[in-house]
Structure 1
Amino acid sequence: MIKIHLRLLIFMCSFSLFAQDYFPSNSGVIANNTNYTALTNAKIHVSASEVIDNGTLLIKEGKVISVGKSVSIPKNTTTIDLEGKEIYPSFIDIYTSFGVKKPKRATGNLPQYEASRSGFYWNDHIMPEQDVMASFKYDDKAASEMHKLGFGVVNTHMPDGIVRGTGALIALNNNADNSMRVIDGETAQHLSFSKSVASRQSYPSSLMGSMALLRQMYNDAKWYADGNVDTRDLSLEALNGNKNLLQIFEANGRANVMRADKVGDQFNIQYTIVGGGDEYERIDEIKSTNATLILPIDFQLAYDVDNAFLAKTLSLSDMRAWNQEPHNPRILSENGVTYALTTHGLKSKKSFKDNLMKAIESGLSKQKALEALTTVPAQLLGKSNELGTLKAGSYANFLITSGDIFDKKTKLYENWVQGTPHFITDMAIKDIDGDYNFKLAGKLYQLKISGSSSKPSAKLVSGKNELGTKMSYKNDWVTMTFKTADTTKTEFIRIVASPSSGKSLSGKATMPNGNDYSFYASSEVKSANAEGEKGKKGENGKTKDAYMSPVTYPNMAYGFTENPKAETILFKNATIWTNEGDGVLENSDLLIKDGKIAKVGKDLNARNAKVIDASGKHITAGIIDEHSHIGAVSINEGGHNSSAEVTIEDVLDDEDIDIYRNLAGGVTSIQILHGSANPIGGRSAIIKLKWGESVENLVYDNSPKFIKFALGENVKQSRSRFNVRFPQSRMGVEQVYMDYFSRAKAYDELKKSGKPYRKDTEMEVLAEILNKERFISCHSYVQSEINMLMKVAEKFDFNINTFTHILEGYKVADKMKAHGVGGSTFSDWWAYKYEVNDAIPYNAAIMHKVGVVTAINSDDAEMSRRLNQEAAKSIKYGGVSEEDALKFVTLNPAKLLHLDERVGSIKVGKDADVVLWSDHPLSVYAKAEKTIIEGVTYFDIEKDKQMRETIKKEKSTLVNMMLQDKNKGLKTQPVRKKEKVLLHCDSMDFNTTEK
């Protein structure tokens, strides 16, 4: 008690003598502290890699003067003895919006197409000129919350817009003013894919639109910096002025990390990227970015799976995410990826420490954890000499703890910021939390005490009975009253005790009859590092019970534990549909080698080949879908009436289960088209369905260049309540084409002249069409519009490549033949909206017989799984031959996509994209038994059966683990059935940043 009072007296004296050093005066003037403070006899973590036992930390005027075992302490120094305590550098959160009020959401119903500001960039969502300090207001309450988590400094920014302006570095010193707190008022440029809430400007309305806008912005910034613009643009000036700052990009997910890095690489910008916690799914890709990450640790709660019926609706990917996410920091560290940890994304910041403990239990080393909270953010901010360590010259930002800061039982006593202490837990109070045993009057009791340093509580058990207990802990004395185990009486036992060495309690117990007994309770608490405790460390630092589900490619149901490899395969005795002059070959063999079709014939042999008996089965080229919307997270950019600058390749989704489902239907290639929100849509992505491969490996190498155009109801917004955008009529659609191609022609002429020109991605793409380097696939229905677009194309001396949908193609088939355009249609869809009232199921057959290259497409994630059956309908509707019907979904779409030299038929030298069918390929009974792309088996019906059993077992394991979490009293989240959203021509994502 004497020591406690002495220490309090020292603090009171130092504060009274130097009050102006810690607390602002009424006038707001703060004087500097010229006194020394020495914290002695502590275990000092100077940095994550340097520790001094029984050391001294000497500070003055908010800075560290000296640290070591033999520090010379000047006279008149305030000395604080921290024997048995530890000192750590305070944490740094590099990604917050601390003290910043987010702008109000713009009101109004109608879309806005022009910018609302003058003198700035043409898009409201680009705001590099934004200075966070203009809206900053220090928040004592939020700072105190961060103090309790160990943070002393935060980097804050305005979390609004695609380019958000500059951030500021703030010391969480509650007893200072902003002149002291602001360490750096301009730390980083902040970016994201999300629009500002303060503007209703429609563009961009999609993730791919955000990416295109960023690219155009950088091009414009260079053009502006080179002095090619007469009028001032404050946004571009700020952007160029901020280019040497740290560039922090909020991605919030593994796929978006790659997208952000893709944009950065194009302009030689190395972003520091805010991840999403799922980077472990494609760790090699993440490493390849060379980016430093800012890593949230917002781990999912276990699901409440008590209801077995509801639990069955849980996807394996969601269940895995709960189990795997805590391992993400460890996996990143093991793979040499540098990252800083952040509280960003947490619904409650109180969960930060628990989640950090989960990460450590899952194998994250404590040194890496401390680096990620101290030296890494300091280095990123260029403040390594001032923050992140306790070396001489650095800010006196440090934590005083009862022990290892990453031990669950460790108390954080004080958080000093700029030499000012912020009190969290009273150091004078002995920590008596733990489990105790004691015996009274021949009975054994088990006592559990928790919260002794703040809100003490006790749980007392005798035998199988939990006894009602009240407890208080003040001035080193425990008083406790509990009801006896005799339920027939209302009697109480009273205890008064004090803690003694070794975490035991001793004192006096008064029984109901008034008799007093000596009381002694021994603690069973073991060190958190004790080898014998449950969950002791195994390999890689993980606790032995830290099970991690295997990561697959993709990391979901039906993913591969290892990506499959190309094989040499010999099919014997099959019926082979060549789609070539040889027609259909009976009882023939097919040899696949090095990803190519090597031989076709009878009685073939090959060394080291995997031989498959295909007797009674059929082999065809892989099905090709000319018009699909699977495999992407964004389909429409409808913010403008032309979006030629966007590309579906930016928003591919390698985890779309429809890729696997399409493989099960024999599909090997698809063109993912932009939607029909505008007359001039975005560029296509032509991919092979290489399930498990990365996004980059899905896209055809040397892919033909395509773009989506659209006509009719969708683009003139017939069914939209926001019908204010030009065009509003079919004749307006024609004018859009005339205007844009006229502009593109002028742009191309200027570019070819050799004179300076502002690079415009949209005009570049349209110029490619004029130069016959890019092909148009056009959404169409009505014959008048089909004729119109062909005439526009002929006026500008190019051809339309494909009319897709084209349900009135039978009316203009002769004109299509003369123009040289192909048709990709539905087999028998009609009457689902006004402009398809004249559709007939004979459409494909009529176009085909006139000589138009005709294909059957899906435009639908479900239909694409049975395109072979859709093609077969043309045999009934129009009398098309079986071979020609099959070509509607194989060779003909390959021709329309300019890929027929590579795929679409079975010919020596072509890519080995083939399907083994159980029956006639146009039969409703036919199943795709094997779907092979470039010699790799991506779908195997027998392997599929095996995977179903594996999935069942893994889900069962995870369900049991979740039940264990709930039984331990941990929080859970309810099961909510998720319906997969299928994207179509008219799907809008409104600037989503998911995946």
Structure 2
Amino acid sequence: MKKLLFSLLAVAAMTSHAQEYFPNNDDISAVSSASRAITNATIITAPGKKIENASILIKDGKIVEIGKNIKIPKNALVEDATGTFIYPSFIEAYGDFGMEKPSRTSRGGQQYDEGRKGFYWNDHIRPEQNAIDFYEYDEKAAKSMMEAGYGTVQTHLHDGIARGTGMLVALNTNGDDSGRVLKNSNGAYYSFDRSSQTNQSYPTSLMGTLALLRQAHFDADWYAKGKSKTKDRSLEALNNTKNMVQYIEAGDKKNILRADKLGDRVGKQFIIVGGMDAYEMIDDIKATNAQLILPMDFEDAYDVTNPYQEWYINLSTMRDWKQGPANPMMLQKAGINYAITTHGLKSPGDLKEKLMRAMEYGLTADQALAALTTVPAKMLQADAMIGTLEKGKLANFIVTSGELFDKDTDIYENWVQGSKHQLKDRSILNVDGTYTTSLNGENYTMTISGDSKSVVVKQDSTKLGSKISRNGDWITVTTTQKDTTDKSYNRWNAKLGPDNSMISGKVYLADGTERNFTARKTTTDEKSEDDKKDDEDKDEDMAMKEMGPLTYPNVAFGSITKPVAETILYKNATVWTNEADGILENTDVLVKNGKISKVGSNLGAGGARVIDATGMHLTSGIIDEHSHIGIDGGVNEAGHNSTAEVTIEDVVDHEDINLYRDLAGGVTTSQLLHGSANPIGGRSAIIKLKWGYKPDEMIYNNSPKFIKFALGENVKQSRYDNGVRFPQTRMGVEQVFEDYFTRGQAYDKSRGTDDFRYDEEMEVISEILKGERYVSCHSYVQSEINMMMEVAERYGFVLNTFTHILEGYKVADKMAEHGAGGSTFSDWWAYKYEVLDAIPYNGAIMHSQGVVTAFNSDDAEMSRRLNQEAAKAVKYGDVSEEEAWKFVTLNPAKLLHIDDRTGSIKEGKDADLVLWNTNPLDIQATAQMTMIDGAVFFDIKKDEQMRAAVKKERQQLVNEMIMAKNKGLKTQAPKQAVKTLYDCDTIEW
């Protein structure tokens, strides 16, 4: 690490000269203090503000005067810039320019690093890092950024969850760090990514990262009160930087909302890096009031010419290509403030092409310029010196050949702190364009592009083989001859005219004759038929720039509008009430205002939509007590043996297609559980499968509080080669519970004392001990089931549910006595050692002993056919059909403490209903309609229409991608987007 001592730097020094008080033994001549003036340019001083025929006067790195008819000192160095444009140079708000690359270590090692005593316990929290300690000016990277138009970059070390401070640097290769380091400590940075400098195992998941960030801020507040007995440089740094601008790299739209929610919890308003797909949740992102630093790494089209590879690409990814470039325009319309960053691009030079794609969807040049200049300047609290061209500000500007975002515009010069960096000689005129001439009665068009690097020549409508070279204002074009097979060539040698409107010279024909010619650049009105055809193609391209359908969610099988509650009357159904009335034949059910309004015969419709359910069966929705669908960023926080501080509610994924598939299987409610990597896992999310709604709208209001415990092979890491974490044995698992419950009791006793430290993990343990949070415990072996009940009884609480519980039949009487329910598999056995004693009669036996018994899925595929799993209780154990159906409806509702809201068909309960074509326990049963809170979220007829619509939309996007490839646009090979299907033991390191 380079410990550069910049504390003595004159941060406000704006010149490119060395520090004036340094000894000078080499040159005794005076440093010139002459002014410099650039005259006769079109100057854009700020987005939307243009001065024609203007001049700019600079001295000592700053703008002295700017405008028309300014007074230029006699001794000033003057440059005539007639025909050029001057813009403020760009500002990169989220760079890693000049940063030392941190060393990488393998993951999954020790939990604590003894070598970092005096710092925070978690090595991914590194707020003590200062960018200036890792900085060294990089001329090569600076040149790349200047060529893209940048003059200033805010940079920091992109490593860790808490990353420390950034610094503001001028890209002045002609200067030194005494002048170009504008701010050596500017902004505090965070991310959702672990540090590569440590192999500390925690966190292993997104929910763990969020919990760690929360707790680090809680600890910093506690530390600031002077209660710690030891010094912690990390917490001191967190506190010292809390008044700086706070930045966090989040990524996608869901993580933007998560980052803002985190900020609300810890009292910070973050500027959030991310949101390339923000347009999909734009109202929710607008409501956060957060500013964004927006990446521009739009997808290239996929090469879909091979139909077998095309199916690797899901519809959502195809839409990303089509809709993504509209994102900046959509954010602009919504009034969301954002700066544009090159972060994520392979090279800063790719930025212009991305911007031009965004402009095809309506982003204006002024809006783009603002996102590159004035907006980042204000975000970085540097708008007093950069961002616009005004008297007294830094002379940071670019000189261009034309309007900045025109395709053929070149950046000639990038002036940083008044120091000129020439990128291209502006005295050499741009010859690109289409020229026409006649020769021997034939019409020729010559289209030059790529800054004179390529040429297309046509004789009438015939394209000729052609090459071009250039030397100053002279060009030489070699062409083949029309309608000849011999290798003979015409040579055109011409000079560019002074007004850039024509080229003239001689053509040396293959037969040895010479002809003078003048080719004039075509104007809009003079375009050839071929050019007009090209314009038609461009118009066709522009027609493609319509975004296409946005749905809720914006993936396959999303709806154009969110489902809303309806007034619906189901007529003449066979109704499985799950109440004392049992199964009712030829019965009506009225749904109104999201509730079950009436159950009876011959009910009046009123203004209700009537559904003839004759011959069909109406049931309450299926409830899956144990599911892992709809989760982002990992199902297990495996870094510690207790992770009660994490919660699945932080990481609900409302776009998981398995939610829709479950709806098609009649599921209306699921408990999304943490995995089984540790004895004390994370908190649950109990959701209604409201497909098309955002995560917070899916989670039950006033949701019952649950947490996942686990026993057995997974938590003692029997099947992990690198298991290093305690416990390693079943008796160690018991000791973990003893230790944490003892700590929880001590934590409660410390409340109200001077040295009380808020600990989110201990808060949850306390809730368990008080009976305020229910436990769902992953379990298999009877000895551990008995142990867990005994431990709970010693600490005065009841185990709510044993899930999996494949040896429940051995201890059912004790479970009933304790008060625990059982949520099990219908007929799983022998898939690992600790389930060798499992039997398919397990559910029926527990039920017979008075245990509230449910069947769960723990599997994204099984959850779609839980109706068939319920039927297995009839086969194995002769449970009645009515009671077997309760195994997947009312009983899991009781286990989740939501049976007052759902789980049966009763007046006043939530209208969570499923209409089946036949007896729901029949192997032929399929859900015809699935309703939640009175809104229809699955309709089998609509599903057929949506399948056809998805097929049609895919084909349209395939055609557009093939068209893009045929036009020579960049494409990428198809890649399969695969979402991990989580199981209890899935760990993503």
Question: Under TM normalisation by the shorter chain, which class is it?
Answer: over 0.9
CA contact (8 A) 1:648 1:674 kept: yes
Post-superposition offset of 1:510: 1.9
More divergent stretch after superposition (598-607 vs 26-35):
26-35
Mapped to 2, the partners of 1:230 and 1:321 lie a distance apart of 52
Q: Which residue of 1 aligns with 2:6?
A: none
More divergent stretch after superposition (70-79 vs 231-240):
70-79
Q: Which residue of 2 aligns with 1:707?
A: 707
Mapped to 1, the partners of 2:341 and 2:453 lie a distance apart of 30
Mapped to 2, the partners of 1:121 and 1:527 lie a distance apart of 69
Mapped to 1, the partners of 2:115 and 2:402 lie a distance apart of 56
Mapped to 2, the partners of 1:527 and 1:756 lie a distance apart of 81
Q: Which residue of 2 aligns with 1:221?
A: 220
CA contact (8 A) 2:108 2:200 kept: no
Matches within 5 A, 1:899-978: 899-978=898-977
CA contact (8 A) 1:21 1:31 kept: no
Post-superposition offset of 1:231: 1.3
Amino acid at match of 1:855: A
Give the % identical residues: 55
CA contact (8 A) 1:115 1:201 kept: no
Q: Which residue of 1 aligns with 2:12?
A: none
Mapped to 2, the partners of 1:844 and 1:487 lie a distance apart of 87
User: C-alpha deviations, 1:327-373, integer Å up to 9, x for none?
Assistant: 00000000000000000001233221100111111111211111100
Q: Which residue of 2 aligns with 1:510?
A: 508
Mapped to 1, the partners of 2:28 and 2:194 lie a distance apart of 41
Structure 1 SS opposite 2:238? helix
Amino acid at match of 2:509: M
Mapped to 1, the partners of 2:107 and 2:432 lie a distance apart of 57
Q: Does 1:862 align with 2:861?
A: yes
Post-superposition offset of 1:30: 12
Q: Does 1:480 align with 2:477?
A: yes
User: C-alpha deviations, 1:67-92, integer Å up to 9, x for none?
Assistant: 12231212211122222211100000
Q: Which residue of 1 aligns with 2:135?
A: 136
Post-superposition offset of 1:482: 2.6
More divergent stretch after superposition (520-529 vs 571-580):
520-529
Q: Which residue of 2 aligns with 1:381?
A: 380
Q: Which residue of 1 aligns with 2:559?
A: 560
Q: Which residue of 2 aligns with 1:664?
A: 664
Post-superposition offset of 1:105: 0.7
Structure 2 SS opposite 1:221? helix
Amino acid at match of 2:655: E
User: C-alpha deviations, 1:786-817, integer Å up to 9, x for none?
Assistant: 00000000000000000000000000000000
Mapped to 2, the partners of 1:26 and 1:363 lie a distance apart of 58
Q: Which residue of 2 aligns with 1:428?
A: 427
Q: Does 1:640 align with 2:640?
A: yes
Which of 446, 453, 458 is the aligned partner of 1:461? 458
Mapped to 2, the partners of 1:430 and 1:66 lie a distance apart of 28
CA contact (8 A) 2:17 2:179 kept: no
User: C-alpha deviations, 1:464-507, integer Å up to 9, x for none?
Assistant: 65434343222312223333235343322222211223521111
CA contact (8 A) 2:868 2:923 kept: yes
CA contact (8 A) 2:505 2:517 kept: yes
Post-superposition offset of 1:942: 0.4
User: C-alpha deviations, 1:806-846, integer Å up to 9, x for none?
Assistant: 00000000000000000000000000000000000000000
Q: Which residue of 1 aligns with 2:522?
A: 524
Q: Which residue of 2 aligns with 1:302?
A: 301
Amino acid at match of 1:662: D
- Taking a change above 3 Å as real, the CA distance of residues 463 and 553 of structure 1, as seen in their structure-2 partners, is same
Amino acid at match of 2:657: I
TM-score (norm 1): 0.94
Matches within 5 A, 1:572-587: 572-587=571-586
Mapped to 2, the partners of 1:481 and 1:713 lie a distance apart of 76
Q: Which residue of 2 aligns with 1:687?
A: 687
- Taking a change above 3 Å as real, the CA distance of residues 528 and 373 of structure 1, as seen in their structure-2 partners, is farther
Mapped to 1, the partners of 2:592 and 2:25 lie a distance apart of 84
Q: Which residue of 1 aligns with 2:449?
A: 450
Mapped to 1, the partners of 2:417 and 2:555 lie a distance apart of 48
Mapped to 2, the partners of 1:285 and 1:32 lie a distance apart of 57
Supply the RMSD in Å over aligned alpha carbons: 2.3
- Taking a change above 3 Å as real, the CA distance of residues 50 and 529 of structure 1, as seen in their structure-2 partners, is farther
Structure 2 SS opposite 1:653? coil
CA contact (8 A) 1:535 1:545 kept: no
Amino acid at match of 1:92: I
- Taking a change above 3 Å as real, the CA distance of residues 891 and 19 of structure 1, as seen in their structure-2 partners, is closer
More divergent stretch after superposition (367-376 vs 69-78):
69-78
Amino acid at match of 1:821: A
More divergent stretch after superposition (921-930 vs 951-960):
951-960
CA contact (8 A) 2:107 2:201 kept: no
Amino acid at match of 1:473: R
Mapped to 2, the partners of 1:802 and 1:109 lie a distance apart of 31
Post-superposition offset of 1:256: 0.8
Q: Does 1:722 align with 2:689?
A: no
Q: Does 1:792 align with 2:791?
A: yes
Q: Which residue of 2 aligns with 1:172?
A: 171
Mapped to 1, the partners of 2:829 and 2:506 lie a distance apart of 90
Structure 1 SS opposite 2:883? helix
Mapped to 1, the partners of 2:448 and 2:888 lie a distance apart of 72
Q: Unaligned regions of 5+ residues in structure 1, if any?
A: 1-17, 991-995
Post-superposition offset of 1:406: 1.1
TM-score (norm 2): 0.95
- Taking a change above 3 Å as real, the CA distance of residues 134 and 589 of structure 1, as seen in their structure-2 partners, is same
Structure 2 SS opposite 1:980? coil
Post-superposition offset of 1:233: 0.5
Mapped to 2, the partners of 1:110 and 1:570 lie a distance apart of 60
Q: Which residue of 2 aligns with 1:824?
A: 823
Amino acid at match of 1:740: Y
Structure 1 SS opposite 2:304? coil
More divergent stretch after superposition (434-443 vs 194-203):
434-443
Mapped to 2, the partners of 1:202 and 1:521 lie a distance apart of 69
Mapped to 2, the partners of 1:925 and 1:468 lie a distance apart of 67
Post-superposition offset of 1:313: 3.4
Structure 1 SS opposite 2:589? strand
CA contact (8 A) 1:20 1:30 kept: no
Amino acid at match of 1:673: L
Aligned residue-pair number: 968
Q: Which residue of 1 aligns with 2:492?
A: 495
Q: Which residue of 2 aligns with 1:471?
A: 468
Amino acid at match of 1:487: T
Mapped to 1, the partners of 2:251 and 2:988 lie a distance apart of 17
Q: Which residue of 1 aligns with 2:126?
A: 127
- Taking a change above 3 Å as real, the CA distance of residues 28 and 960 of structure 1, as seen in their structure-2 partners, is farther
Post-superposition offset of 1:404: 0.9
Mapped to 2, the partners of 1:356 and 1:458 lie a distance apart of 25
Mapped to 2, the partners of 1:134 and 1:592 lie a distance apart of 65
CA contact (8 A) 2:595 2:909 kept: yes
More divergent stretch after superposition (913-922 vs 973-982):
973-982
Structure 2 SS opposite 1:769? helix
Amino acid at match of 2:238: L
Amino acid at match of 2:134: S
Mapped to 1, the partners of 2:746 and 2:382 lie a distance apart of 50
Structure 2 SS opposite 1:812? helix
Mapped to 2, the partners of 1:885 and 1:528 lie a distance apart of 81
CA contact (8 A) 1:33 1:61 kept: no
Mapped to 2, the partners of 1:264 and 1:482 lie a distance apart of 64
Structure 2 SS opposite 1:350? helix
- Taking a change above 3 Å as real, the CA distance of residues 30 and 161 of structure 1, as seen in their structure-2 partners, is farther
Mapped to 2, the partners of 1:29 and 1:866 lie a distance apart of 88
User: C-alpha deviations, 1:860-908, integer Å up to 9, x for none?
Assistant: 0000000010011010100100110000000000000000000000000
- Taking a change above 3 Å as real, the CA distance of residues 88 and 697 of structure 1, as seen in their structure-2 partners, is same
Q: Does 1:414 align with 2:432?
A: no
Post-superposition offset of 1:20: 6.0
Q: Which residue of 2 aligns with 1:614?
A: 613
CA contact (8 A) 2:16 2:417 kept: no
- Taking a change above 3 Å as real, the CA distance of residues 88 and 26 of structure 1, as seen in their structure-2 partners, is farther
